[in-house]
Amino acid sequence: MLLLCLAGIALSGCGQKSENQSSAPVGQVVARIGDQVVTIQELDTELRWANVPNDRRRDPDIVKRVLGELVTRKYLLRQAQEAKLDREPTVLLDLLRAREQVLANAFCFSQIASRFSAVTES
């Protein structure tokens, strides 16, 4: 229930235009949270992380659910940053570990893909 309330609060600011349009990321904007935007690329990434099949990624109910979760997370991120939680030592270490894990996984997947490609070409 709390997440639904937070999503409602965050979504209420989605239609508001930012005064500084030039700093918006390149890409089609699908939502606004205060001065932050959510682009179609971010939404596509969220759909991928949620393991939504390609043929279901335009389903309005799925898009609404995933977008709501993304907006809620961005809202909570902003609240955490305003509370300066991103400066706590344990949080900093957790962020570094998460970054390392994502990069390590990306490297592994790229190596597997290149070897798989080499095998199928032979």
**What residue segments make up the domains of the chain, in order of their start?**
2-87, 88-122
DSSP state of 30: E
pLDDT at 5: 44
Please compute the mean of the pLDDT values over residues 19-33 and round it to a whole number.
67
Please tell me the number of Cα atoms within 13 Å of 21 on its side-chain side. 4
Q: Which residue has the higher pLDDT, 88 or 117?
A: 88
Region label for 27, one of left (φ > 0), alpha (ψ between -120 and 50) or beta (otherwise): left
Tell if the pTM clears 0.85, that is, is over it: no
CA distance 84 to 64: 30
The per-type count for the chain, helices as H runs and strands as E runs, is 4, 2
Please compute the mean of the pLDDT values over residues 81-96 and round it to a whole number.
96
* Averaged pLDDT of the chain: 83
- How would residue 23 be classed by pLDDT, with cut points 50, 70 and 90? low
**CB-based contacts of 24: which residues, under 8 Å, 6+ apart?**
18, 37
